[in-house]
Amino acid sequence: MGNADDYMYPSSMNSNGGESGSHRVAIPPPQPFLISLKNTVKETLFPDDPLRQFKDQPPRRKLILGLQYFFPILEWGPRYSFDFFKSDLISGITIASLAIPQGISYAKLANLPPILGLYSSFVPPLIYALMGSSRDLAVGTVAVASLLTASMLGNEVNAAENPTLYLHLAFTATFFAGVFQAALGIVRLGFIVDFLSHATIVGFMAGAATVVCLQQLKGMLGLDHFTHETDVVSVMRSVFSQTHQWRWESAVLGCCFLFYLLLARFFSKKKPKLFWISAMAPLTSVILGSLLVYLTHAEKHGVQVIGHLKKGLNPPSIMDLEFGSPHLTLAIKTGIVTGVIALAEGIAVGRSFAMFKNYHIDGNKEMIAIGTMNIIGSFTYCYLTTGPFSRSAVNFNAGCKTAVSNIVMAIAVMLTLLFLTPLFHYTPIVVLAAIIIAAMLGLIDYEAAIHLWQIDKFDFFVCISAYVGVVFGSVEIGLVIAVTLSVLRVLLFIARPRTLVLGNIPDTKLYRSVDHYPNARNVPGVLILEIDAPIYFANSSYLRERIARWIDEEEDRLKSCGESNLQYVILNMSAVGNIDTSGIEMLQEVKKKLDRTGLKLVLANPGAEVMKKINKAKFVEEIGPEWIFLTVGDAVEACSFMLHTYKPKPETDGSGKWSNSV
Amino acid sequence: MGNADDYMYPSSMNSNGGESGSHRVAIPPPQPFLISLKNTVKETLFPDDPLRQFKDQPPRRKLILGLQYFFPILEWGPRYSFDFFKSDLISGITIASLAIPQGISYAKLANLPPILGLYSSFVPPLIYALMGSSRDLAVGTVAVASLLTASMLGNEVNAAENPTLYLHLAFTATFFAGVFQAALGIVRLGFIVDFLSHATIVGFMAGAATVVCLQQLKGMLGLDHFTHETDVVSVMRSVFSQTHQWRWESAVLGCCFLFYLLLARFFSKKKPKLFWISAMAPLTSVILGSLLVYLTHAEKHGVQVIGHLKKGLNPPSIMDLEFGSPHLTLAIKTGIVTGVIALAEGIAVGRSFAMFKNYHIDGNKEMIAIGTMNIIGSFTYCYLTTGPFSRSAVNFNAGCKTAVSNIVMAIAVMLTLLFLTPLFHYTPIVVLAAIIIAAMLGLIDYEAAIHLWQIDKFDFFVCISAYVGVVFGSVEIGLVIAVTLSVLRVLLFIARPRTLVLGNIPDTKLYRSVDHYPNARNVPGVLILEIDAPIYFANSSYLRERIARWIDEEEDRLKSCGESNLQYVILNMSAVGNIDTSGIEMLQEVKKKLDRTGLKLVLANPGAEVMKKINKAKFVEEIGPEWIFLTVGDAVEACSFMLHTYKPKPETDGSGKWSNSV
């Protein structure tokens, strides 16, 4: 068989080989282990380089910068102006009008006393105003986390039978959610949130919204008993097993208000200037509904009402945290799951609005702010809060300038707690249900799902899996499925990297994929392969097989065309970001096999990391440094030179087929 | 601020822009969804294209090929010659002499009756000879899987108190291991085994070897009671809490034989021709030890012996499978874990020797063979078998040619079972312990660990974690830690991709990393970045931040040098293998931000997949197709042309800093 190893490599070739002469692939200078470790840790945990601004500053300035880091209000506070305040006042009052009914509704969703919704809109926004770096986030409770709390805690403790324990566990879960959120920020592991991909969130949100809407059937139909499960099958069975209990008064009232709310939103969408119609609609619904019930005494005719709400500000709840309870594990688990979900929503929302206004949000700093606000919230009779999308969008539309709008909202809620709670006595629950349904319908973003389908089928698949998982299984199942699928996709990208055959683009020295550029031409006697991922243990066996198959296929093709034999295999390493020891072994094996069948392995453009490692493993010596080129063009030129200078010996037998040779 | 959008893009530029003229980045032709799905599934599950050889064959030939696929013996059998048989006979007898004492030792390790070691060296090798595709694998039980069986089953069932149940569970676990192994092969998920990286296996094997050696202290010291834990702390406590029980006779005998075995190996290593000294050493030890005990009646002086071994071939055990047992879950779990470990060893060993002899091993076919052999083994009184490294290495050294050596070994074991079992009555257990220790010491491959440290620090870290996990925790803990770390590394590669600044290599049109090629020069007014990984949800936030920081740093640098302002940011997408919707959103955000600060985003060499998706998402339109170039060189040329033709407007204020602009 023709063996490229037999040929002497002419020392003059470098100068013949065109541009390659003076530009060999460099072996990067060795770096001390500690320095490279430091760099890796820095890039992994501190990609935003938070200490950059502290550099070369006097100690006093460093202290101020440090305080400003944790309390951004110290940074923007001094620059705060009356004009800003006017805008913040209007937006603050607007979100307060939304916060009160929503707070009560979501607390019901979490099976908690309705007053907690108001408490949770008082203390946490104040904390966030001090520590948060977003100017548009409006703090409050969210539907999905409320539902998750109810479903997870409800697995072990029945809220109706044991309300005190359930309440205390909710505080404990909130405490752990806050600790977990703040800890993620402190140890700078904020990137965990990134593993909830856009597609996951779209599907998950839509699924949760569907489930929440289904749960509202209880309020809409005025049912007393209802399933504790959240999946669509259980809910439907529960609803249709008690058709005789349906209250038409309740259902009619609910549908009217739902229609009103959707109409208000429709108009606001048509004319963004009328955003306040939509923003005020929940409060007007509550006022109208309460008045209606009060005047018609509908509470005696099947329309359930909220009933008594305690007057006064948040009582302390720090002593209610159940650290010694047998349900502690449950509380921690609930806290971590709801904390991550809430964090993902809060950060995504903050980031979206920051993008609109072109300012910067520091994910880790936000985590510390949201975490602290939940820790303090758990001490003051609040449950899990974050920055809900609906409320923040209203805040943004109302023209908020800074986090002062949160302070305004908190004061409005405080005044409500101090003086206005009796007014909510007659608020019909069905109106709250209508408010929740209206809000939820906005979260089912079918357009985003269609967009996903058009651009990336796998993302669509992840999205639909999350949706189906949530709707037919449970909120956790949906989440786990979607995250697992997303991670599997990443692993699959590594485990099954694409390998491309490159060809020469006519009239250039460029080599590109023949699939992508159909006019790219093969080079006689040379097979050029590109590997599109790092070579790791997870793909080294696959690549070994795949390279073998490419070579076999190429040899079959050449044989059927009657063209000259394959002599060189060039691996373009441009896209190989890294390699590990399994990967190097794979290359060594491929090299050995190629040698044995008389083919020559050539590398093109290995990166710094790859070059460093294959040099340490002595693979550079094995392959010969003169067979590693800076570009595919150089490599092809050298191979062609060799092919024309030294005519290949004829093959001695027909068994040149690569993977079957014995 | 200077805004590149203000400039008209001259239609003549393409012809001025050098080679770029006729070579735009093509948008790949749309592919029907089902075809691309089919291709993806094929690449993922059938990378070796197993049906290739069936193409265009008559049905009769297809049937033969199909039978040959499942029974490779039909393929090589007809070509079998007497010369082959001579070699196989010698190697078969050699491995039988090793198989008998090792089988008995490992069965003791698994807390199973010693005779099982012999049974397991009879039936499974015969099955493998029919179905396996390796010519060098010698089938038998392995230490690690034996130890795992003992430790996992031992958690629920005590082998000493309830030997029958324990035995039946071991058969059941073997059955499930076989089913799982065969299933992996049938559904072509063989690549799961690839997730056990080289580094993991080195660390895990060394850890398991250490643990197994520690377990042998029981036999060496002649102890009756011993801990069921495998970690070093428990074992040491168990050994030193009963110093008064130590039997010096046993220890002395053990040390002598250990010394003999190690010496034999030392000589074999020095002179590979003397491999048979090492191969025969275990059998000679057993014979010598048994003779010694028989003559000196040492069994009455503290030297434990094997005792009675039943004569006769494997009884059936198919009725002993405990499918209705409350421990069924345990048996399934044990089966899956031990099955994967055994599979990984078997395939890795088969592949290594195939590489030496340059033939091809099909991972999926091997799985089916190993799985079937274990299923049938579980019906015939055998426990888990695979291709152990030590035995296969001896087989290889002894010059085996085909799987017939396994048949020879099976016949030798059969003869032993029929006629020679009484001879093992006086075999001292301490000799078996010495055999195990000697074998295990060879598995602690410290040289490989040093090699890992030199080439890849992270691989070394994975290896040491696996070792420490196994030695101080348990076999399962070590394995889970190592696999998790390996997977985390892959995820981290995606979550924190490297971004490189490129510069021009003097006298060429090439652009390479300035870190790797220190002589590469920056291009005035242009920042060239390369992203070294696919852009996925897991890294899109990071890349957003990182690109912002690169731009800030470049602007700071330019300002401090007093050079001209940054006008263009070129992203080299050569190494971006894929993109998802989160990634496209990131690019859109980056583009918006750059536009706002008067910078222009330019793409270079996006691949087919990326181009297809950004085109569908209309990002190609947004960025302008004329700003997507085939090479970085073309992109730089176009930017330089614009910079020189249209002088940039002066900046209007000092707040041009990118990420802080409001």
Contacts of A583 in chain B (CB under 8 A): none
B197/A536 touch (CB, cutoff 8 Å), yes or no: yes
Selected residues 450-479 of chain A with any CB under 8 Å from a CB in chain B:
451-452, 454-459
CA neighbor of A592 nearest in space, from B451, B137, B357: B357
Separation of alpha carbons A375 and A658, rounded Å: 65
**For residues B4 and B601, is the Cβ–Cβ distance under 8 A?**
no
**For residues B92 and B404, is the Cβ–Cβ distance under 8 A?**
yes
Q: How close A638 gets to chain B, by Cα (Å)?
A: 17
Percent of chain A with pLDDT over 90: 25
- Do A288 and A349 have their domain in common? yes
Give the DSSP H or E segment for B88. helix B82-109
pLDDT given at position B397 = 77
> For B348, what's the count of Cα atoms within 13 Å in the CB-facing half-sphere?
25
Separation of alpha carbons B181 and A542, rounded Å: 19
Does residue A51 sit within a domain? no
What is the span of the domain harbouring residue B462? 81-490
Q: Which residues contact A256 (CB under 8 A, 6 or more apart)?
A: none
**For residues A135 and A320, is the Cβ–Cβ distance under 8 A?**
no
Separation of alpha carbons A320 and A153, rounded Å: 16
pLDDT given at position B8 = 36
Does residue A558 sit within a domain? yes
Average pLDDT score, chain A: 84
Q: Which residues contact B526 (CB under 8 A, 6 or more apart)?
A: B566, B567, B568, B569, B570, B636, B639, B640, B643
Number of H helices, E strands in chain B: 27, 6
B455/A630 touch (CB, cutoff 8 Å), yes or no: no
B507/A659 touch (CB, cutoff 8 Å), yes or no: no
pLDDT given at position A661 = 37
Chain A contact for B85 (CB, 8 A cutoff):
no
Q: Which 8-state DSSP code applies to residue B247?
A: -
Separation of alpha carbons B215 and B208, rounded Å: 10
Separation of alpha carbons B476 and B200, rounded Å: 13
- Residue B229's Cβ-count burial label (10 Å; 0-12, 13-18, 19+) is middle
pLDDT given at position B174 = 96
Separation of alpha carbons A174 and A152, rounded Å: 13
- Do B235 and B88 have their domain in common? yes
Chain A residue with minimal CA distance to B29?
A516
pLDDT given at position B294 = 87
Q: Look at residue A207 and tell me whether its pLDDT is greater than 90.
A: no
Q: A511-513 and A499-504: which strand pairing?
A: antiparallel
- Residue A9: pLDDT band with limits 50, 70, 90: very low
Which of B490, B514, B539 finishes a domain? B490
**For residues A223 and A251, is the Cβ–Cβ distance under 8 A?**
no
Instruction: Give the number of residues written for chain A.
Output: 662
- Do A435 and A540 have their domain in common? no
Give the DSSP H or E segment for A92. helix A82-109
Contacts of B197 in chain A (CB under 8 A): 536-538, 580-582
pLDDT given at position A473 = 86
Chain A contact for B584 (CB, 8 A cutoff):
yes
Separation of alpha carbons B640 and B653, rounded Å: 24
- Do B456 and B579 have their domain in common? no
Q: What is the largest CA-CA distance in chain A?
A: 104
Q: Residue A450: helix, strand or coil by DSSP? A: helix
Contacts of A508 in chain B (CB under 8 A): 19, 23
pLDDT given at position B167 = 93
**For residues B222 and B249, is the Cβ–Cβ distance under 8 A?**
yes
CA neighbor of A607 nearest in space, from A527, A533, A504, A500: A533
Q: Residue B511: helix, strand or coil by DSSP? A: strand
Does residue B184 sit within a domain? yes
The winner for highest mean pLDDT among A377-386, A539-548, B413-422 is A377-386
Q: Look at residue A222 and tell me whether its pLDDT is greater than 70.
A: yes
Tokens of A103: 């707070």
Separation of alpha carbons B599 and B593, rounded Å: 9
- Do B436 and B508 have their domain in common? no
Contacts of B512 in chain A (CB under 8 A): 630
- Do A312 and A241 have their domain in common? yes
**For residues A598 and A568, is the Cβ–Cβ distance under 8 A?**
no
Chain B contact for A338 (CB, 8 A cutoff):
no
Does residue B43 sit within a domain? no
Tokens of A554: 């190429």
Give the DSSP H or E segment for B633. helix B632-645
pLDDT given at position A477 = 83
Q: Please give the backbone phi and psi of residue A501, each rounded to the nearest 5 degrees, phi first.
A: -90, 130
- Do A479 and A504 have their domain in common? no
Task: Tell which of A198, A352, A585 to mutate to test the B interface (max B CBs under 10 Å).
Answer: A198
Give the DSSP H or E segment for B629. strand B628-629
Quick count: other Cβ atoms within 10 Å of Cβ A480? 15
Task: Tell which of A68, A189, A484, A494 to mutate to test the B interface (max B CBs under 10 Å).
Answer: A494
Tokens 């079998």 correspond to: B80
Query: What sign for the dihedral angle of Cα A41, A43, A48, A54?
Result: positive
Q: Which residues contact A288 (CB under 8 A, 6 or more apart)?
A: A257
Q: Which residues contact A339 (CB under 8 A, 6 or more apart)?
A: A176, A177, A178, A180, A181, A371, A374, A384
- Assign residue B316 a region: left if phi > 0, alpha if psi is -120 to 50, beta otherwise? beta
Does residue B15 sit within a domain? no
Does residue A70 sit within a domain? no
A613/B455 touch (CB, cutoff 8 Å), yes or no: yes
B580/A199 touch (CB, cutoff 8 Å), yes or no: yes
The total number of structural domains in chain A stands at: 2
pLDDT given at position B58 = 85
Which of A445, A468, A490 finishes a domain? A490
- Do A512 and A484 have their domain in common? no
Q: Which residues of chain B have pLDDT under 70?
A: 1-23, 48, 193, 228, 355, 646-662
b/e per residue, B75-85, with b = 16+ CB within 10 A? ebeeeeeeebb
Instruction: Give the number of residues written for chain B.
Output: 662
**What distance lies between CA B58 and its chain's CA centroid?**
39
CA neighbor of B75 nearest in space, from B127, B132, B149: B132
Count of CB pairs separated by less than 8 Å, A with B: 245
Chain B contact for A75 (CB, 8 A cutoff):
no
Does residue A296 sit within a domain? yes
> Distances in Å between the alpha carbon of B486 and those of A579, B153, B264, B491, B532?
13, 27, 37, 9, 19
Does residue B163 sit within a domain? yes
pLDDT given at position B655 = 43
Which of B442, B475, B490 finishes a domain? B490
- Do A469 and A510 have their domain in common? no
> For B444, what's the count of Cα atoms within 13 Å in the CB-facing half-sphere?
15
pLDDT given at position A20 = 40
CATH of the domain at B590: 3.30.750.24
pLDDT given at position B646 = 66
Percent of chain B with pLDDT over 70: 93
B661/A497 touch (CB, cutoff 8 Å), yes or no: no
**For residues B617 and A573, is the Cβ–Cβ distance under 8 A?**
no
ipTM here = 0.78
- Do A416 and A514 have their domain in common? no
Q: Look at residue A650 and tell me whether its pLDDT is greater than 80.
A: no
Chain B contact for A26 (CB, 8 A cutoff):
yes
- Do B435 and B536 have their domain in common? no
Separation of alpha carbons A498 and A571, rounded Å: 13
- Span A108-118, mean pLDDT? 90
pLDDT given at position B353 = 77
Q: How close B184 gets to chain A, by Cα (Å)?
A: 16
- Do A485 and A501 have their domain in common? no
